[in-house]
Amino acid sequence: MNLLPFGKLPAAKPRKFVPETIDLGDWLQIAPLFEQLEALAARAKNTADLENWLLAWSELNAALDEESARRYIAMTCHTDSAEAEKAYLHFVEKVEPQLKPRQFALEKIYAVHPLQNELRKLGARSIAPPGSDAISRSDAPRSSRRYEGFDRDLKNHVELFRPENVPLETGEARLCQQYQKLSGSLTVKFRGEEKTLVQMGRYLEEPDRALRQEAWELVAKRRLQEADKFDDILDGQIKLRQQIARNAGFGNYRDYAFRRLGRFDYTPDDCTQFHDATEKHVMPVVREMQAQRREQLKLEKLRPWDLAVDPLNRAPLKPFAHVGEMVARTQKIFNRLDGGLADGFRQMDDLKLLDLDNRKGKAPGGYQSTLSESRLPFIFMNAVGLQRDVETILHEAGHAFHALATRDEDLYAYRGAPIEFCEVASMSMELLGNEFIEEFYSAADAQRARRVHLEGVVGVFPWIATVDAFQHWIYTHPDHTRDGRRKAWLDLMDRFGGDVDWSGFETARANLWHRQLHIFLHPFYYIEYGIAQLGALQVWANSKRDKARALDDYKKSLALGGSRPLPELFQAAGCQFEFSERTIQPLAKMLREELEKQ
Ligand SMILES: [Zn+2]
C-alpha cells in the first residue's frame, strides 16, 4: 500500500552503485555495500578512483536518506496507520544504529586516505575518463577548492571523536529525554479542563485581559513547581558537557561546541558583537513597538500576558478558506516574484509534493523534507486558514527552492547548506513573498499581516541574544551556583526584556529560561537563526534597491548548496557575513521605517 501523498518521482540520476532492487529497510542487504566501499577505498589507485568512490558513497547516502524520509513522511501523513509506524520505527531502531559506526569507519578511511590530499589539491575533474560517465556534467563549481569544505567538515568530525565520550553522550541524551518528558508532562486545570501548556498558549491571544492573566499565571506557577527539577537536569548536563569538552582537549564546553557545530567562520567574539549590537540598535525599536502596543491597549504598563494579543482587539486575519486556495494564491505570489521560483512551486504541486491541509490522522506541525535521491523537496503542513499558515508556506517554500536549486550537485554533502544559510533561503522568502501578500488580503489586512510578521522579526533578535549570551556565560563559568546563574539570566532580561512590568512575578522571570528547550537539548544552537535573519534582511534590503538582481543573487547562492563556506554563500546572496553594528544598525533602521509604513 502506498501511504505517500506522491507517486513515482522522476529520478535525478540512474543508480550506479546501489542495486535497483535493494530493500533499504533491510540491514543485511545494506551492510555489503559498506563492505564494498571499504574495499574500494583500499583499491583506489588514483584521484579519479577516489572521486568515483566519493560519488558511490554519496549515492548510497542519498538512497538511505530518502528511504528514511519516505518512511517519516508516510508516518506523519498517516498517524493512524500501524504499518507506517512500524516501517518508520524499524528504520530508526534496526537500520540507523548500524549505519552510524559504518559511516564513521568510512569517514576515518577517507580522512587518512593517501590520495585524499592530492584530490583536494587537484579539485574535481572537469572531464570524465573515457568510457565512464560517473562524473556528471553538472554546473556545480569545479574549482581546485572543490573538496575543501567537505574535507574540513569530515576531518573535524573524525578529530573530535573520543571513545570515552560515547557513554557521556549517552548520559547527556538521557538527561535530554528527561527534560522532554518533564516539559511534555506538564498540564494545568483551567476552567474545569485539563490543558497542556502548549494548549494554554492560545489564551494569551484572548482580548479579555483577566482571562489572559489567569492563563499566564497558571502556566508560570506550574513551571515553577518543577524549577528544581529543571535546574537539576541542566546541572547534570553541564557536568557531562564539561567532561566531554575536556576529553576532546578543549578548555571549556563553549569552545568545544563551536567546533562541533562546525563554526569555522565565526567566533564567540562575533556572537558577543551580535548581542551588543542588538542591545544598542534593535532594543530601541522593540521599546517603540512595546510603547505603541501599550497605548493601543490603553494600559499603564505592559504585563507579561499583554504581549501576544492583537493590540486593537481585532478578529484573526482570514487569508483563505481551504488549502487549494492557499496553494493557488501562493503560486500567484511566486509568479509575480520570479518565473524560475514559480516553476519550481508549480512542479511541486504537480508532483503532489505538497501535503498541506489539516486532517484527521496527520501529525501536528509543519516541515520541509528533501527526498535526497530524487533530489526533490516535499512540504508538510497543517494549514487551518491563519496568517501563520501563509508565513509557514512561504518559509518552507524557501527551503524547497534551496533543494531544487542544488539538483545538479552530485556530492550528497553539498546538496545541503549549513543551517545559518538554509534559513536565509527560507526567511528571505517570507520577506520577499510578503511584498505580494495582497494576493491573500485586502490592502488594510495586508498591511496588518506584514506588520505582525515584522514585529516577529524584530522581537526574535533580543530573545536570540538572551538565550545565546546566557549559554556563553554558563559554559565559561562552569563552577557557578544556581543563584549565580539566575543572576546572569536576570542581567540579560534587563538588557533584552524591554519595558514589561514583571512585578509580583520575579521568580517566574528569573526562571524563564526553563522553557527554552535549546538550552537543554541543543546547546549553543540558536544564534544560527539570528545570523540567518541578518542575511534575509539584507536580501530584502537589496531587493528594494534592485529586485531582479537581488533575486538573481539569491538563486545563485542557493545553487551553491554547501559547496562553499558561509562567508562565500552570504557574499553570493549579496550579503555580508558580519554581525556587528555595522550590519545590524542599518537593518534596524530599515525595520523601523518599514514598521512606520504599515
Ligand atoms: Zn526553516
Residue-wise pLDDT tens digits, 401-425: 999 999 999 999 999 999 999 999 9
Distance CA 464, CA 178 (A): 24
Give 398 Cα–ligand 1 centroid separation in angstroms. 8
- Using CB atoms within 10 A of its CB, is residue 531 exposed (0-12), middle (13-18) or buried (19+)? buried
Q: Is the pLDDT of residue 126 over 50?
A: no
Distance CA 448, CA 267 (A): 38
Give 393 Cα–ligand 1 centroid separation in angstroms. 11
Give 110 Cα–ligand 1 centroid separation in angstroms. 31
Sequence-separated contacts (24+) of 76-83 with Cβ below 8 Å:
76/362, 76/363, 76/367, 76/380, 77/3, 77/4, 77/5, 77/355, 77/361, 77/362, 77/363, 77/380, 78/3, 78/361, 78/362, 79/361, 79/362, 79/363, 80/360, 80/361, 81/3, 81/361, 83/1, 83/3
Structure confidence at residue 145 (pLDDT): 86
Structure confidence at residue 156 (pLDDT): 96
First to last CA, the chain: 50
Give 425 Cα–ligand 1 centroid separation in angstroms. 8
Give 426 Cα–ligand 1 centroid separation in angstroms. 6
Three cell numbers, residue 273:
558583537
Overall size of the chain counted in residues = 598
Give 422 Cα–ligand 1 centroid separation in angstroms. 7
Distance CA 70, CA 415 (A): 18
Give 6 Cα–ligand 1 centroid separation in angstroms. 22
Q: Is the pLDDT of residue 135 over 90?
A: no
Give 529 Cα–ligand 1 centroid separation in angstroms. 9
Give 396 Cα–ligand 1 centroid separation in angstroms. 6
- Phi first, then psi, for residue 383 (nearest 5°) are -75, 135
Residue among 217, 178, 140, 167 nearest 561 (CA): 140
Structure confidence at residue 29 (pLDDT): 98
Give 212 Cα–ligand 1 centroid separation in angstroms. 30
Residue among 7, 79, 6, 16 nearest 410 (CA): 16
Give 421 Cα–ligand 1 centroid separation in angstroms. 10
Give 367 Cα–ligand 1 centroid separation in angstroms. 8
Give 403 Cα–ligand 1 centroid separation in angstroms. 12
Structure confidence at residue 125 (pLDDT): 57
Structure confidence at residue 132 (pLDDT): 39
- Phi first, then psi, for residue 188 (nearest 5°) are -130, 160
Give 360 Cα–ligand 1 centroid separation in angstroms. 25
Give 553 Cα–ligand 1 centroid separation in angstroms. 20
Structure confidence at residue 357 (pLDDT): 92
Give 389 Cα–ligand 1 centroid separation in angstroms. 14
Average pLDDT, rounded, for the chain = 94
Q: Is the pLDDT of residue 22 over 50?
A: yes
Give 119 Cα–ligand 1 centroid separation in angstroms. 34
Give 250 Cα–ligand 1 centroid separation in angstroms. 31
Q: Is the pLDDT of residue 460 over 50?
A: yes
Give 532 Cα–ligand 1 centroid separation in angstroms. 10
**Is 578 within 8 Å of 586 (Cβ atoms)?**
no
Give 423 Cα–ligand 1 centroid separation in angstroms. 5
Question: Which of the 8 DSSP states describes residue 95?
Answer: I
Give 467 Cα–ligand 1 centroid separation in angstroms. 19
**Pairing mode of beta strands 354-357, 376-383:** parallel
Q: Is the pLDDT of residue 74 over 60?
A: yes
Give 251 Cα–ligand 1 centroid separation in angstroms. 33
Give 140 Cα–ligand 1 centroid separation in angstroms. 24
Q: Is the pLDDT of residue 138 over 50?
A: no
Q: Tens digits of per-residue pLDDT, 249-306?
A: 999 999 999 999 999 999 999 999 999 999 999 999 999 999 999 999 999 999 999 9
Give 528 Cα–ligand 1 centroid separation in angstroms. 11
Give 381 Cα–ligand 1 centroid separation in angstroms. 13
Give 395 Cα–ligand 1 centroid separation in angstroms. 6
Q: Is the pLDDT of residue 240 over 90?
A: yes
Helices (H) and strands (E) in the chain, counts: 25, 5
